[in-house]
């Protein structure tokens, strides 16, 4: 090691450099969690929508070929829509 070389030091914890880095990493972690939450909501909604008709409760709306909207489908879709709206709202707030 040369004598004129100084040891590397980390910036002080209150410096703008570390605050910016911490904020960026927090945002990245938050974005990953939001993507994971949205994926979980979507997977759970699809699971409920694919339940066999005998488990899904009475048919509320009948469509062509005997397919319909069942009693369990409505809350699943509402939870998915509200959850997706919340995820989008938080995502936009963290931009």
Per-residue model confidence as pLDDT tens digits over 38-73? 999 999 888 888 888 778 778 788 877 767 788 888
Indicate whether 6 belongs to any domain. no
Radius of gyration of the chain (CA): 25
Question: What is the model's pTM?
Answer: 0.61
Domain count along the chain: 1
Burial call 36-54: b when 16+ CB within 10 Å, e when fewer = eebeebeeebeebeeeeee
Residue 10 banded pLDDT, cuts 50, 70, 90: low
- 8 domain residue, yes or no: no
Residue range of the domain that includes 65:
23-93
In a domain, 34, yes or no: yes
Tokens of residue 20, six digits: 């910016």
In-domain check, residue 15: no
Residue 49 falls inside a structural domain: yes
The answer to whether position 83 is within a domain reads yes
12 falls within a domain? no
Residue 94 in tokens:
């963290």
Q: Is 48 inside a domain boundary?
A: yes
């Amino acid at each position: 090691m040369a004598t004129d070389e100084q040891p590397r030091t980390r910036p002080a914890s209150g410096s703008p450099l570390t605050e910016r880095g911490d904020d960026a990493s927090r945002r990245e972690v938050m974005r990953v969690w939001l993507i994971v939450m949205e994926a979980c909501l979507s997977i759970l909604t699809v699971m409920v929508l694919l339940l066999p008709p005998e488990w899904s409760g009475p048919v509320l709306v009948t469509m062509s070929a005997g397919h319909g909207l069942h009693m369990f489908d409505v809350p699943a879709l509402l939870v998915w829509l509200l959850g997706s709206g919340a995820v989008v709202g938080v995502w936009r707030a963290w931009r």
